[in-house]
Amino acid sequence: MTGSRPALLWFREDLRLADNPALKAAVATGQPLICIYVFDVESDGLRSPGGAARWWLHGALAALDASLKEHGGALHILRGAAAPIIERLATETDASAVFWNRRYDAPSRAIDAAIKSALKARGIDAESFNGALLHEPWTVAGKSGTPFRVFTPFWRAACAKGEPAAPLKAPDTLVFHPHPKLAGAVALTDLHLEPLRPDWASGLRASWTPSEAGARAALEHFLRNNLAGYAANRDRPDMASTSRLSPFLHFGHLSPRQVWYASQAAVASGASKASCADLEKFFSELGWREFSYHLLFHHPDLATDNFQSRFDAMPWRQDANALRAWQRGRTGYPIVDAAMRELWATGWMHNRTRMVAASFLVKHLLIDWREGERWFWDTLVDADAANNAASWQWVAGTGADAAPYFRIFNPVLQGEKFDPDGAYVRRWVPELAKLPAMLIHKPWKATQDLLAAAGVRLGETYPQPIIEHEAARKRALTAFGALS
């Protein structure tokens, strides 16, 4: 009676039905499915999701459960260390096979390897797939087989592998095990992922629809409106010029293969007037995501250890007040403060201002990049083990393909260049909204009359800069230079 034994489908960061190779393989067995999600904050080394990501996960799991219900099934949620749970469920349900899509951080890989060998030892089939990347980290290597440390040759080698695999359609019909009795299954609300007291998530709710349908809508909107012009506009935080797909990609509501092929199709059909340069630039950003995963796979301690160990001797400053001012968007530098408040309000920040705000923390304030990485981890809806760590190390100058340490963003010039009319600052730092564009990025240069006319009292309604730019730049050059 093997035909009636169920197949377990273990959802992780692949919360979708389309282009889901594990789902396809499970369906292909012809056996009834049991779909599960394990909320695991107990396994060794696994990092707990931050607050914003937990909020997202709640919506994402509810949406996946609703999609499965439309097909006559459900998502069964469990809580605890994944390995014993999966092994127990496989036995209790008499499953013939367990399917999942791979993750690439070291703790997850260790868990998955242990589960696979335990299941196989018991004669239960266990199969994993690539659901998250265009090309998996070990498939892109230099001539000598060594991992890449620099983006451009990495991306050249990845592109030389040819087009990524075409995305899979969502199965038309799904057959579920009629009455799976899963000991230990909990209700989604039992995970307490949503903030209640206080409920700080209203800005997140207003900004996002965490679901596969939300991802499709965001992708379509981007392809119709913003892929054309992406190469020129992507650095402008005052324009809605990027895809805002990062949380959808992180949680796997969408795969990069779907994004890749949908972008090409939009251009081919004329639905997008994007140029080759737009498409190439957009694809290369997906390439940075691939590169970050490549780095994390080959350097599992990316979020905790300087990639270049000479920076271990860095005399980072302990300055709780400055750290708090940065976190709260009260540094006195409008572009930095706008960025940090956008993050707090929406769980997302534009890439240009991520770089400026991160650089300010590390270079101007000389605060350890790991403090910033942790804050982003807690507040970003797209907080991602690979992208966050690799990007922080890039900005800090401690990373593999790092910006050189002497590249120190001037927050005033960055603001004037990328937010020329001050619209971004006006939106997120409303107390400065009435300042003219030429002063909005440096309110301390305004005359008392102008400040008074704009209703700004520096040091009261808006802070004075917490550090003077030129002095901070010199201090950073000395500190970083001593280690170079």
Ligand X SMILES: Cc1cc2nc3c(=O)[nH]c(=O)nc-3n(C[C@H](O)[C@H](O)[C@H](O)COP(=O)(O)OP(=O)(O)OC[C@H]3O[C@@H](n4cnc5c(N)ncnc54)[C@H](O)[C@@H]3O)c2cc1C
Residues that bind ligand X (CB under 6 A): 234, 242-246, 249-250, 285-286, 288-289, 292, 351, 354-355, 358, 376, 380, 382-384, 387-388, 391-392, 395
Q: Give the Cα separation of 456 and 429 in Å (integer).
A: 11
Active site residue 392: yes
Task: For the chain, report the end-to-end CA distance as a whole number of angstroms.
Answer: 67
Q: Among residues 99 and 222, whose Cβ is nearest to ligand X?
A: 222
Active site residue 316: yes
Q: Among residues 67 and 243, whose Cβ is nearest to ligand X?
A: 243
Question: CB 68 → ligand X: shortest distance, Å?
Answer: 26
Residue with tokens 């300055």: 319
Q: Give the Cα separation of 301 and 333 in Å (integer).
A: 32
Burial class (CB in 10 A: 0-12, 13-18, 19+), 295: buried
Question: CB 224 → ligand X: shortest distance, Å?
Answer: 14
DSSP 359-422: HIIIIIS---HHHHHHHHHHH-TT--HHHHHHHHHHHHT-STTPPPTT----HHHHHHHHSTT-
- Do 434 and 455 form a contact (C-beta atoms < 8 A)? yes
Contacts of 339-344 with C-beta under 8 Å, sequence gap 24+, read 339/237, 339/428, 341/428, 341/429, 342/237, 342/424, 342/427, 342/428, 343/376, 343/379, 343/380, 344/203, 344/379
Question: CB 256 → ligand X: shortest distance, Å?
Answer: 7
Among residues 288, 326, 344, 394, the one annotated as catalytic is: 288
Edge-first strand order for the sheet with 7-11 is 75-79, 33-39, 7-11, 97-101, 125-129
Q: Among residues 104 and 392, whose Cβ is nearest to ligand X?
A: 392
Question: CB 464 → ligand X: shortest distance, Å?
Answer: 25
* Closest to 104 in 3D by CA, of 294, 381, 377, 254: 294
Question: CB 52 → ligand X: shortest distance, Å?
Answer: 10
- Do 361 and 274 form a contact (C-beta atoms < 8 A)? no
Q: Give the Cα separation of 462 and 440 in Å (integer).
A: 12
Question: CB 237 → ligand X: shortest distance, Å?
Answer: 10
Greatest Cα pair distance in the chain: 86
- Do 379 and 304 form a contact (C-beta atoms < 8 A)? no
Question: CB 347 → ligand X: shortest distance, Å?
Answer: 11
Active site residue 56: no
Question: CB 424 → ligand X: shortest distance, Å?
Answer: 14
Q: Give the Cα separation of 142 and 149 in Å (integer).
A: 10
Question: CB 292 → ligand X: shortest distance, Å?
Answer: 5
Q: Among residues 284 and 308, whose Cβ is nearest to ligand X?
A: 284
DSSP 203-255: HHHHH---SHHHHHHHHHHHHHHTSTTHHHHTT-TTS--S---HHHHHHTSS-
Q: Among residues 31 and 255, whose Cβ is nearest to ligand X?
A: 255
Q: Give me the half-sphere count of Cα atoms (radius 13 Å) on the Cβ side of residue 443.
A: 31
Q: Give the Cα separation of 230 and 280 in Å (integer).
A: 10
Q: Among residues 354 and 442, whose Cβ is nearest to ligand X?
A: 354
Instruction: For the beta carbon of residue 322, count every other beta carbon within 10 angstroms.
Output: 18
Active site residue 288: yes
Q: Among residues 87 and 290, whose Cβ is nearest to ligand X?
A: 290
Active site residue 326: no
- Do 31 and 3 form a contact (C-beta atoms < 8 A)? yes
Active site residue 100: no
Q: Among residues 358 and 400, whose Cβ is nearest to ligand X?
A: 358
Among residues 42, 194, 285, 431, the one annotated as catalytic is: 285
In angstroms, what CA-CA distances link 257 with 145, 182, 218, 223, 253? 25, 34, 15, 15, 12
Among residues 233, 316, 410, 431, the one annotated as catalytic is: 316
Q: Among residues 308 and 351, whose Cβ is nearest to ligand X?
A: 351
Among residues 55, 155, 369, 428, the one annotated as catalytic is: 369
Q: Cite the active site residues.
A: 285, 288, 316, 351, 369, 392
